[in-house]
């Protein structure tokens, strides 16, 4: 995750991240000592050791808790408890009513650039059971404070790659690497890759600038949440999402057709030309599952 260095004298004053009082979920360790509790604890471990526990379903160097911080417990970092009570739900992304398990399948497909576990599988049941355990006491169908990422104001200036590169070098590269490839810790990827073959695919939520900026502003640098200004968050999100990454698994017919159908948004750089490369073309798309 991002680690801050000494702010430059010209760095804009950071905006305060304000999150309303939120629900406090129980700890997985407090689940009962029975089959249900075992499923809760497995779900918690899958959040942090995804590739180790579900190797056939993960195709990159990320784990669930790279986005769902604190194993899906942290408010303002897409907590599982806030999502669980809002499913089943219609999702515009696939035009269907999605169960919670279906929603988790999409995380495996896009964010983990992998193969979704089958509905009803041990992995999905464990994650669903864990999410349900975290959400105990929350009313169904309500959108609790802390859900998703805190809303972020638009930038004062259009997001800019040059400024974003500077923010990345100063605030992010010490953990994620100057090449965005992340860093391994104790045999695993302790700091996730933000682009390249082992990062999230086009189609992941983090590959859209507005969502990435909101996450970054609320949660990064790790341990110094809210220290970046709104402008810095937009600039560095724009820079990160202007890099090469695995192909959108929904790719069909052509780059232009795929952009029109799935990326027709000013917040997606898929199919646009950045530094002389058209993002999403085979020539600028790293091979998925590269070791």
Q: Domain 30-134: state its class.
A: mainly alpha
Over the stretch 261-282, which tens digit does the pLDDT of each residue have?
999 999 999 999 999 999 999 8
Average pLDDT over residues 104-131: 99
What pLDDT score was predicted for residue 220?
Answer: 98
Residue 160 — pLDDT band, cuts 50, 70, 90?
very high
Tell me the CATH number for domain 161-284: 1.10.760.10
Would you call 12 helix, strand, or coil by DSSP? coil
Quick one: pLDDT band at residue 286, thresholds 50, 70, 90?
confident
Cα–Cα distance measured from residue 94 to residue 120, given in angstroms and rounded to the nearest whole number: 20
- The whole-number average pLDDT for the span 143-170 is 98
pLDDT at 45: 98
Rounded to 5°, the CA angle 289-235-272 comes to 55
What's the confidence (pLDDT) of residue 4? 33
What is the mean predicted confidence (pLDDT) over 56-81? Answer: 98
The answer on pLDDT for 1 being more than 60 is: no
Per-residue pLDDT at 186:
73
Q: Does this chain's domain 30-134 share its CATH topology with 161-284? A: yes
Nearest-10 crossing angle of helices 122-134, 35-48: 100
Report the 10 Å Cβ neighbour count for 79.
Answer: 26
The pLDDT tens digits for 23-54 are 999 999 999 999 999 999 999 999 999 999 99
**pLDDT tier, 187 (very low <50, low <70, confident <90, very high otherwise):** low
Half-sphere exposure of 27 (CA within 13 A, CB side): 2
Q: Looking at the whole model, is its pTM more than 0.85?
A: yes
Instruction: Read off the DSSP letter of residue 194.
Output: -
| Average pLDDT score, the chain | 92
The residue extents of the domains of the chain are: 30-134, 161-284
Give the single-character DSSP code of 190: E
pLDDT at residue 7 greater than cutoff 60: no
Calculate mean pLDDT across residues 11-15.
49
């Amino acid at each position: 995750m991002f680690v801050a260095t000494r702010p430059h004298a010209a760095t804009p004053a950071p905006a305060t991240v304000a999150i309303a009082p939120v629900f406090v979920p129980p700890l997985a360790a407090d689940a009962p000592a029975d089959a249900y509790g075992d499923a809760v604890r497995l779900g918690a471990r899958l959040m942090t050791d995804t590739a180790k526990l579900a190797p056939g379903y993960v195709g990159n160097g990320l784990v669930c808790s790279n986005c769902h911080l604190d194993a899906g417990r942290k408010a303002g970092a897409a907590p599982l408890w806030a999502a669980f009570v809002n499913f089943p739900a219609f999702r515009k992304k696939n035009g269907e009513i999605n169960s919670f398990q279906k929603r988790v399948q999409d995380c495996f497909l896009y964010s983990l650039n992998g193969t979704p576990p089958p509905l009803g599988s041990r992995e999905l049941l464990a994650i669903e059971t864990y999410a349900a355990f975290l959400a105990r006491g929350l009313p169904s169908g309500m959108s609790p404070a802390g859900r998703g990422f805190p809303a972020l104001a638009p930038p004062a200036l259009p997001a800019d790659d040059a400024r974003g590169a500077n923010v990345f070098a100063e605030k992010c590269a010490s953990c994620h690497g100057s090449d965005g490839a992340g860093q391994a810790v104790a045999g695993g990827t302790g700091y996730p890759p933000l682009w390249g073959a082992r990062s999230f695919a086009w189609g992941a939520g983090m590959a859209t600038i507005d969502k990435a900026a909101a996450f970054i502003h609320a949660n990064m640098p790790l341990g110094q949440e809210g220290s970046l200004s709104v402008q810095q968050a937009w600039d560095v999100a724009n820079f990160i999402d202007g890099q090469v990454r695995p192909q959108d698994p929904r790719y069909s017919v052509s780059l232009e057709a795929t952009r029109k159908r799935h990326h027709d948004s000013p917040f997606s750089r898929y199919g646009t030309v950045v530094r002389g490369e058209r993002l999403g073309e085979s020539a600028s798309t790293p091979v998925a599952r590269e070791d």
